[in-house]
Amino acid sequence: MTGASTGMGAATAHALAARGFHVLAGVRRDHPGSPGVEPVLLDITDTEHVEALAARVAADERPLHAVVNNAGIQVNAPVEALPLAEWRHVFEVNLFGHVAVTQALLPALLRGGGRVVNISSVGGKAAMPTYGAYAGAKFALEAVSDALRREVEPLGVRVVVVEPGGVRTEMATRGIATANDLAGRMTPEQDRRYGGLVQAINSLMASGTSSGVTAQAAAEVIAKAVTARRPRTRYPVGRDAAVLTRLVRVLPDRALDRVIGATVRRHHPRVA
């Protein structure tokens, strides 16, 4: 699995190892292993790393049961204010890297009748303000997952999407720091337009994370997606994800805009 250094990824690696799997855990730097968990240096945007992972899998006599695409970054900024280089970086990590890993390992999955588990987000269903790049990549990952499922399930490979809401990990903390850094680079005009919005979204993100599920609880859902004999196509993680995915299905766009707008306004900084 990718993105296994900390948080939800590390918890999932250990949950799968506890179920008897030998887990190749993709990490960005040297990392101690543990029973059933073998760290593998993996930057999913680095072609050489991906090729080395495919070679490691091909050299193993054991069948490949699943690829869990979990690596990701969170970058939040208004569409107008986010530099194009940052847009491209978000898509490289949150979309194209997953496609690269899947392409490299799909032959092994086809031989063993394995499955692909893509870790998306509730942001792949509804795009909050300042989530344009992050949600855009997650929406795309959902679409790629649908296309892949319809291509390879007739060949014996299952494709599953996991959609977490708030999870108590370091990702949100890093996301808030990144959002503040990007906000500091906005022009004065952009700051007047969006400064309060950025603060509101940071507050909302912190609140959603603190009330979210634990990394271990999220890992149990991912492990279920990996091991279920007949997995569902999608698994929301957390009450917030379950509620929002239902709202997206039933509410018209304008009604959903009002719901999201009211939620964001509750977190806007108070003006004296």
Range 84-106 average pLDDT? 98
Mean pLDDT, residues 207-221 taken together: 90
| Predicted confidence (pLDDT) per residue in 238-271, tens digit | 999 999 999 999 999 999 999 999 999 999 987 6
CA 236 to chain centre: 12
User: Residue 225: its pLDDT value, please?
Assistant: 98
Q: How far apart are CA 160 and CA 256, in angstroms?
A: 26
Find the mean pLDDT for residues 199-213. Answer: 88
Distance (Å, rounded) from C-alpha 133 to C-alpha 184?
18
Any idea where the domains of the chain sit in the sequence?
7-165+214-247
Residue 91 in tokens: 């898509």
CA distance 31 to 65: 23
Longest dimension (CA), the chain: 67
Instruction: Scan for tokens 């040297």, then name that residue.
Output: 30
Alpha helices in 3-96 (DSSP H): 7-18, 47-58, 84-91
The whole-angstrom distance between residue 110's C-alpha and the CA centroid of its chain comes to 24
Alpha-carbon span 67 to 102, nearest angstrom: 7
Lookup: tokens for 225: 């997606």
Sign of CA pseudo-dihedral 37, 235, 226, 69: negative
Give the pLDDT band (50/70/90) at residue 191.
very high
The predicted-structure confidence for 111-134, as pLDDT tens digits, reads as follows 999 999 999 999 999 999 999 999
Q: How far apart are CA 52 and CA 58, in angstroms?
A: 10
Check whether 175 has a pLDDT greater than 90.
Answer: no
Q: Identify which of 71, 9, 75 has the alpha carbon closest to the alpha carbon of residue 37.
A: 9
| Distance in angstroms (rounded) separating the CA atoms of residues 144 and 166 | 23
Q: Which CATH class is domain 7-165+214-247?
A: alpha beta
Question: Rounded to two decimals, what is the model's pTM?
Answer: 0.93
Mark whether 134 is an active-site residue. Answer: yes
